[in-house]
Structure 1
């Protein structure tokens, strides 16, 4: 790239790369959901297998987000982003070739690895070219692209599955990834002030989360009191605790614990994990409900999720503008409250087996999601020192993906305990219990968000807690 290239020209390419890439990654969040019943039939997949198809992606996504952000800060965001884009594109092609459930799960795990690096770097690349006072608007557009990907994911998955086969849903990413590569060559390189790696931390948190999630997924089949399931919970939990201890001692921690000295950042992260826990566990079961219970085809089911999944495209940009004007806290509270109402409402009317009764709660839940996306990202950045923007982005997104993993795992576990695929009645019973738990979690998140401090600006557009002493911001990322 020409070093004399005008900054505005590079900024345009950065916007293009960041928004298209986050759209591609967002598609894969839900593109597989409308194909799960077809995969279950064609590959003889169990409920555990279906959970792993989703969780293999989101688990590697969650764990390696932190490393991805640090790699970008250290070696250059453009360079690392480009490598991750190649990994994601190749893994998508491998998933498209899958004819075996274990092969598919493995390919999804590699896909998640690429996505884990791409997602936080889309935010930090934008932050490197957008003035701090305009970041709410920028994050609103970023959230809109996330919403667009989420909205179109089930529809694309359903349409492609009906037109060709479920394997082709993954090939959608390949041309997008290939077209982005020449765009990345025109993006200006940038680095952050952190950029430290923590290999032992990666191993500890990966093993710990794998143990916990594996036990959640296997609990129904192996027995919740079985030695293997209990061992997974105990060993996994201990490894997570060891990870936290190591972060307080490591010279180059994945997660600098000083981030959590800010009450605002800590409470923002609690809200961050509760939102996907409630929403995406509900989505995992809801898309199957539309096909397995209401009898819609994959495309019909995808289209019928649009009152839910398309709403973030409308709400996120507006929420981003409002974030700049009134701050993020009230919007986070409103978004979580609307999602709690919507998810609880869906569960309450599911036994009527009538799609029309789902439309209003779908809309409420989708609007709540869109309202939530922009301000939560702005709060995560706002409570972090400037030199830790990259790692704060990684922590925020990792925690959100962890919430998705736990939501899908707990939702599947509740379905297995209280229901199942044996009949309409058993599936609906399991879904209703899962949605009740999800709604309670979202409501708890709204209550917790009430205690997030307001922000006051501190140089360079950064913000700190009103109630707390400022942490020196350091150099801008």
Structure 2
């Protein structure tokens, strides 16, 4: 039985290294958006290259995060976590040194691989190390510090871009890793699932990632309507169909399809796809709108985004408690509608926009909407399956949210009619932004209707701290799981 106490020196060091590791991946999911205009200018990149700078990371992270958790369970959570930290830091160094967009995009894809290795292991190490009496408080602290990191991430990114330069958005991860690795080696105990058996679903992971990559390419390059785009789109659909077939017929699938037998689980994941697609498009385009059109500096643009994540950090626990009392249908219906209203309010943000009267109201409404829906969404996902499969359900939901954001960043500029040089022209970008925000709002309305029609009160609410103290705008909380590669997945935290 895990016996590390939170008050001990070892307990504090475990908490430190897991917070540092998870913060690396969490920060890079949010701060890069603020750096995009400077990256585009310095590397002479078109809009498609900026989309790939964001999406290359999300692609490998979304495609491999379920496999990353399984590797930790089999070979040792500390070992895979540390491999992810070192891998992530090396890829970050390569990002920071990149002299062209090809190298930068490739390095971002490698970053996503590192993120898929370290992200599931961070919380799993806490669950596997601390004494049961201290575990909930340790997870709460981990979630709280992670939420603070998510809140200040855009501010830090803006400060780095405006000061030493955008390369330090990536290079900052190297000193974090240099602190994290030796502390983990000295203080974090190794843990693994001794009952692991079967083979890893490498084929399923590869097909899933390939499908996402091909569809993303087709959407980003879709404005050219070239034969290569048509072939990529068709091949992406075929790869997706092959992924479903493999997962249905393998004895040890990465994503057992029978988990979708739960109507509630399927409904909540459809809501997740709608809302996180809208969030992904919103935060990608808003960081550009504030700088390209409103004339904000990177620091001011990053600071402008603080209210949303601060509201999530401060009030998610109260939202989760309310959902426990009244059920998830109302929060999951109202939350997306609030976020949709926020996106329509963003239409007020144009040239010379005033922060207090134009930007802040939209971000406050956005934060209120995310507070309303994120904790109930996570609780409903975990309650919609058997306790033994909670880890699997959380992993699928987390991957779905990341994939939705990935597709949105690829598709939204195409749907809004953004040309390859749109971000270099305030007028062109503003016009496309005004077409894009109603599309995001429409996706949220669809999510709200789905929640109202298909979500019912779950049998048990989520009382896990990681569901309640949450500041990430890119994906819902990830519950650690013990994936035995044979479908027996889950760990009740």
TM-score, normalised on structure 1? 0.86
Deviations 1:114-148 (A, max 9, x none): 11222233344455578999999987766655543
Partner of 1:214: 217
Partner of 1:466: none
Partner of 2:373: 372
Partner of 2:395: 394
How far, CA to CA, are the matches of 2:138 and 2:267 in structure 1?
Answer: 23
> Is contact 1:92–1:174 with CA below 8 Å preserved after alignment?
yes
> Is contact 2:216–2:410 with CA below 8 Å preserved after alignment?
yes
CA drift at 1:6: 3.8
* Counterpart secondary structure, 1:238: helix
* Counterpart secondary structure, 2:296: coil
How far, CA to CA, are the matches of 1:52 and 1:371 in structure 2?
Answer: 31
Partner of 1:407: 408
Partner of 1:24: 24
Distance 1:380 1:425, change over 3 A: same
Give 1:8-23 correspondences, 5 Å limit.
Answer: 8=6, 9=8, 14-23=14-23
* Counterpart secondary structure, 2:422: coil
How far, CA to CA, are the matches of 1:34 and 1:392 in structure 2?
Answer: 32
* Counterpart secondary structure, 1:384: coil
> Is contact 1:136–1:320 with CA below 8 Å preserved after alignment?
no
> Is contact 1:140–1:318 with CA below 8 Å preserved after alignment?
no
Counterpart check, 1:453 vs 2:468: no
Aligned pair count reads 460
Partner of 1:51: 51
Gaps of 5+ in 2: 465-486
How far, CA to CA, are the matches of 1:271 and 1:374 in structure 2?
Answer: 13
> Is contact 1:265–1:384 with CA below 8 Å preserved after alignment?
yes
> Is contact 1:293–1:424 with CA below 8 Å preserved after alignment?
yes
Give 1:293-332 correspondences, 5 Å limit.
Answer: 293-322=293-322, 328-332=328-332
* Counterpart secondary structure, 2:459: strand
* Counterpart secondary structure, 2:221: helix
Give 1:69-468 correspondences, 5 Å limit.
Answer: 69-128=69-128, 144-185=144-185, 186-191=187-192, 197-220=200-223, 222-223=224-225, 226-322=226-322, 328-347=328-347, 349-351=348-350, 353-355=352-354, 356-417=357-418, 420-421=422-423, 423-450=425-452, 451-457=454-460
Distance 1:376 1:173, change over 3 A: farther
CA drift at 1:323: 5.2
CA drift at 1:344: 2.3
Deviations 1:132-171 (A, max 9, x none): 9999998776665554333322221211122111111112
Distance 1:128 1:439, change over 3 A: farther
Partner of 2:469: none
* Counterpart secondary structure, 1:296: coil
Instruction: Give the stretch that moved more between structures: 139-148 or 70-79.
Output: 139-148
Distance 1:208 1:474, change over 3 A: closer
> Is contact 2:15–2:126 with CA below 8 Å preserved after alignment?
yes
> Is contact 2:83–2:118 with CA below 8 Å preserved after alignment?
no
* Counterpart secondary structure, 2:177: helix
> Is contact 1:415–1:427 with CA below 8 Å preserved after alignment?
no
Distance 1:381 1:142, change over 3 A: farther
> Is contact 1:72–1:121 with CA below 8 Å preserved after alignment?
yes
> Is contact 2:416–2:432 with CA below 8 Å preserved after alignment?
yes
Deviations 1:177-202 (A, max 9, x none): 22222443433444457775111112
How far, CA to CA, are the matches of 2:118 and 2:2 in structure 1?
Answer: 26
CA drift at 1:442: 1.3
Distance 1:131 1:260, change over 3 A: farther
> Is contact 1:285–1:411 with CA below 8 Å preserved after alignment?
no
Instruction: Give the stretch that moved more between structures: 118-127 or 89-98.
Output: 118-127
Deviations 1:57-76 (A, max 9, x none): 11111001111111122223
> Is contact 1:267–1:449 with CA below 8 Å preserved after alignment?
yes
How far, CA to CA, are the matches of 1:326 and 1:11 in structure 2?
Answer: 37
Deviations 1:36-75 (A, max 9, x none): 1111111100000000000011111100111111112222
Deviations 1:241-261 (A, max 9, x none): 110111010111110112111
Gaps of 5+ in 1: 462-471
Distance 1:320 1:82, change over 3 A: farther
> Is contact 2:293–2:350 with CA below 8 Å preserved after alignment?
no
